[in-house]
Each structure stands twice: as C-alpha cells, then as structure tokens.
C-alpha cells in the first residue's frame, strides 16, 4: 500500500468505472501497472467489492438500536439486514449496539422502519438521525 495505490483507490472511490487507461494517465503510469495494482488490491481484500451507491428513496437515516442484554446481536443484525430499504447494518461499540443505515421513500417510511425495529422482542430502544448530506472521503 504505497502512495500510488492510495491515488488509484481515491480515484476508484469517486468513480469505479474510470478506465485503467485514464487512471494511468492521471497518476502518471501505464495501464498495465494500474491493472496489476487493482488486481492485487482486490486479492489482498483492500478492495472488498465494486459496487453502486444508490438512493432509491428520498430520505436516508441512521437508526441506532439498543438490544436487551443476553441477546444475540449478530442474529438480530442479520434479520434487520434482510429488510428492504436497509443499506448497512453495523454492530458497534458504545451506548447502542446496532446502527442501521436506511434509504427510504420518505419520512413516513423511516418511521415505519423505526416502528418495525421497536417491535422486535430483543430491541429495547432506538434513536434516529436523518442523514442530511453525504460526502465521500
């Protein structure tokens, strides 16, 4: 992981469809080198996957979920991850145990998801933040 790798990653984070040829021009090397590097980054697990960031709805939100003690947090996370409109589920340290990032049609839909979470046996509380704006690093 040298600076060249980091430059390539930063280009791919912003647009993963940038051709190797263009990346090569921008970082001052050859297409083959960019290709080798990207292959190695995937191989090493630095690049977990090529994907698309979507916004199918109009509202994104973080729902911080507290679960009861003696609950299998991983199992609850799995169930939540299956819900439509859920982008990510993180198990986290701190006051709450699970953070759910959702992409919903509107605030009503967010509310529905919160309700759905609170209705789970294992869940003892939720705290929600609307995501007003997103930047990529």
Residues 27, 34, 99, 113: which binds a second copy (CB under 8 A)?
99
Instruction: Check binding of 48 to a second copy (CB under 8 A).
Output: yes
Q: Does the protein bind a second copy through residue 26 (CB under 8 A)?
A: no
The Cα-based distances of 48 to 51, 120, 133 in angstroms read 9, 31, 24
Pair of tokens at residue 41: 């980054």
Asked if 37 touches DNA (CB under 7 A), the answer is yes
Closest to a second copy by CB, 53 vs 69, is: 53
Cα separations in angstroms, 62 against 21, 46, 90, 102, 136: 38, 26, 10, 6, 17
Instruction: Identify what 82 binds: DNA, a second copy, none; CB under 5 to 8 Å per kind.
Output: a second copy
Task: Tell me if 68 contacts DNA by CB under 7 A.
Answer: no
Kindly state the tokens that stand for 17.
């469809």
| Token output for 31 | 């297409």
CB of 59 to DNA, least distance (A): 25
Should residue 40 be labelled a site residue for a second copy when binding is judged by CB under 8 A?
A: no
Residues 6+ apart with CB under 8 A from 6: none
Contact residues toward a second copy (CB under 8 A) are 1, 6, 9, 12-17, 45-56, 62, 74, 77-78, 81-94, 99, 127-137
């Amino acid at each position: 992981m040298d600076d060249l790798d980091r430059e390539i990653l930063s280009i791919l984070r912003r647009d993963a469809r940038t051709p190797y040829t263009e990346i090569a021009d921008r970082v001052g090397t050859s297409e083959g080198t960019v290709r080798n590097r990207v292959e190695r980054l995937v191989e090493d697990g630095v690049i977990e996957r090529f994907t698309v960031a979507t916004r199918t709805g109009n509202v994104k939100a973080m729902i911080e979920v507290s679960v009861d003690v003696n609950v299998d947090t991983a199992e609850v996370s799995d169930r939540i991850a299956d819900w439509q409109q859920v982008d990510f589920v993180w198990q986290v340290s701190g006051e709450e145990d699970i953070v759910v990032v959702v992409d919903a049609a509107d605030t009503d839909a967010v509310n529905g998801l919160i309700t759905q979470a609170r209705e789970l046996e294992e869940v003892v509380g939720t705290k929600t933040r609307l995501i007003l704006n997103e930047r990529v690093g």
